[in-house]
Amino acid sequence: MPESEKKRSGGKNVTSSIARRINASVWLDKLESYVFLNVAILAALFVMLVLYSIGWTPAGDLTAVELLKEIRDMEFTGDSLRNLVMEIHFASGEIRTTALGSWIEFLLPVGVIVTAGEGIDLFTSLFGAHKILKKLRPLDEIVARATAISKISLDQTKIEHLEEAIRTASTQDGQVHLSTGDSDLRKVESALNQLLLKMEDSYRQQTRFVSDASHELRTPIAVIQGYADMLDRWGKEDPEILQEGITSIKNESQHMKELVEQLLFLARGDSGRNTLHKEKTDLRELIAEVWEESSMIDPDHEYVFISAGKELRVGADEASSGNITLPAAPPAFVEVDVSMVKQSARIFVQNAAKYSEPGSTIRLSVNSSGGKVSYIVEDEGSGIGKEDLKHIFERFYRSDKARNSDTGGTGLGLSIAKWIVDAHDGSIDVTSRPDFGSRFVVSFPAA
């Protein structure tokens, strides 16, 4: 910010007065604690001196308090500090004298050094306001900016300029851009341009989403329509065509149902209506459940759960009984919405199955390290090319390979998984090699 602007704004005056006040308060606190500390040290030294003078030892018959209670009077005599003598008069009439000269000779320099140190510290602290001022610099700038903006006099002509600029906002590089040509309005102009950019970006995302969604829905509708026509023409007489038509219509409507459910999930997410019900959960148990259920539903792949260094495999029958005991291992607690995180894991596991050959192995595991708890899904499938890898989390993105295969996806699974993981402040790391397989590591903050 230019100096002249700062001066005009008066922002610096505000923050330096705040800094001075903070410094004065810190200085007074420091002074108070030094005085308290010194008085406490002197009192402790005096009591120790008295106890020493009356010959108290921890091993003696009387406690220190009992002995102190016996004291009736105390007198100090001597013409100088060096000759100072302390006389202690007991209830029994006994008088004990102690020469304090050597004590004072020893303690005085120590006291002087300590007090000088405190004094120097208090003195330098008097000038500590500039350090506080440095820390308050961002505040200083905010004040200056706010003052500068508030000083722009928005007279009728300027308001008209602004209105005209909004009405005639031009399109530059495909972006709406607003320009008044008035240097006083430059700040307002740049704020409005930034806002326009954001609105435009979100509008573009919305329209792309709607057009992609309509396109994706059009395909199954066209297929259903085609089969309905075919049934109408030939299906009534030919049972083979009838069966083919029914199966295809069933498959397509199932695909459409899936697509609509996924679209609804993302729409709810975008509008902030997907509420999370977080609870403390052992991620190992949660992923083990997904592993069991996958083994049960999909007999075409071998599902392995790696836990405590052991590779666990289940046959479909065992998995359906739900009787699997995991080997003992420390729990991996996370604070998550259980059903959503399960949904995310199912997406990765189903993808692993979709994009790998029957008979291949899919590995699931859970790891804790560096304040994070992660679940890992690995497959030996087709892998993802470098170019595709950049886009797989985009809505409706499917690699050419996936589009041309009959795996039947929608291109929304990973967008949903990412939404869920982001909503839990988590992260996803993907490692993949075409024809070798993929590894998805999904991490959450440890609870």
Pair 176, 189: CB distance under 8 Å: no
Which residue among 53, 374, 410, 443 contacts ligand ADP (CB under 6 A)?
Answer: 410
Which residue among 352, 362, 421, 428 contacts ligand ADP (CB under 6 A)?
Answer: 352
**How big is the chain, counted in residues?**
447
Write the Ramachandran bin of 272: left for phi over 0, alpha for psi from -120 to 50, otherwise beta. left
The owner of tokens 């994706």 is 216
Which residue among 53, 281, 351, 374 contacts ligand ADP (CB under 6 A)?
Answer: 351
Structure tokens at 322: 């739900």
Which residue among 398, 420, 421, 424 contacts ligand ADP (CB under 6 A)?
Answer: 398
Which residue among 11, 235, 413, 426 contacts ligand ADP (CB under 6 A)?
Answer: 413
Residue 407 CB, shortest distance to ligand ADP, in Å, is 7
Q: Which of residues 356-385 bind ligand ADP (CB under 6 A)?
A: 379, 381-384
**Residue 296, C-beta contacts closer than 8 angstroms, at least 6 positions apart:** 316, 319, 320
Nearer to ligand ADP, 176 or 389 (CB): 389
Residue 211 CB, shortest distance to ligand ADP, in Å, is 18
Nearer to ligand ADP, 220 or 383 (CB): 383
DSSP H or E run through 79: none
**Residue 248, C-beta contacts closer than 8 angstroms, at least 6 positions apart:** 223, 227
Q: What does the alpha-carbon distance between residue 219 and residue 223 come to, in Å, rounded to a whole number?
A: 6
Nearer to ligand ADP, 54 or 263 (CB): 263
Comparing CA positions, the residue from 104, 135, 156 lying closest to residue 23 is 135
Longest dimension (CA), the chain: 135
Residue 395 CB, shortest distance to ligand ADP, in Å, is 8
DSSP string, 360-411: -EEEEEEEEETTEEEEEEEE-SS---HHHHTTTTSTT---HHHHHSS----S
Region of 66-74, 285-293, 325-333, 352-360 interacting with ligand ADP (CB under 6 A): 352-360
Residue 445 CB, shortest distance to ligand ADP, in Å, is 24
Does 220 help bind ligand ADP (rule: CB under 6 A)?
no
Q: What sign does the dihedral 107-108-112-113 (CA atoms) show?
A: negative
Region of 188-196, 312-320, 335-343, 393-401 interacting with ligand ADP (CB under 6 A): 393-401
Q: What does the alpha-carbon distance between residue 10 and residue 6 come to, in Å, rounded to a whole number?
A: 6
Comparing CA positions, the residue from 254, 14, 246, 265 lying closest to residue 140 is 14
Name the residue whose CB lies closest to ligand ADP: 409
Instruction: For residue 92, give the 3-state DSSP assignment.
Output: coil
Which residue among 192, 213, 366, 392 contacts ligand ADP (CB under 6 A)?
Answer: 392
Does 439 help bind ligand ADP (rule: CB under 6 A)?
no
Does 414 help bind ligand ADP (rule: CB under 6 A)?
yes
Binding-residue total with ligand ADP (CB under 6 A): 24
Q: Which of residues 318-347 bind ligand ADP (CB under 6 A)?
A: 347
Nearer to ligand ADP, 294 or 382 (CB): 382
The owner of tokens 């998805």 is 440
Nearer to ligand ADP, 144 or 352 (CB): 352
Nearer to ligand ADP, 16 or 407 (CB): 407
Binding mask 274-303 for ligand ADP (x = CB under 6 A): ------------------------------
Nearer to ligand ADP, 366 or 412 (CB): 412
Which residue among 11, 220, 409, 426 contacts ligand ADP (CB under 6 A)?
Answer: 409
End-to-end distance of the chain based on CA atoms, in angstroms? 44
Structure tokens at 354: 């979709």
Q: What does the alpha-carbon distance between residue 447 and residue 279 come to, in Å, rounded to a whole number?
A: 10
Residue 345 CB, shortest distance to ligand ADP, in Å, is 13
Q: What sign does the dihedral 381-386-388-394 (CA atoms) show?
A: positive
Binding mask 199-218 for ligand ADP (x = CB under 6 A): --------------------
Q: Which residues pair with 74 in a beta bridge?
A: 88
The owner of tokens 């300590």 is 114
Phi (first) and psi of residue 358, to 5 degrees? -60, 145
Which residue among 355, 375, 419, 444 contacts ligand ADP (CB under 6 A)?
Answer: 355
Nearer to ligand ADP, 165 or 428 (CB): 428
Q: What does the alpha-carbon distance between residue 229 and residue 239 come to, in Å, rounded to a whole number?
A: 15
Which residue among 64, 71, 397, 445 contacts ligand ADP (CB under 6 A)?
Answer: 397
Positions in the binding site for ligand ADP (CB under 6 A): 347, 351-352, 354-355, 379, 381-384, 388, 392, 397-399, 402, 409-415, 438
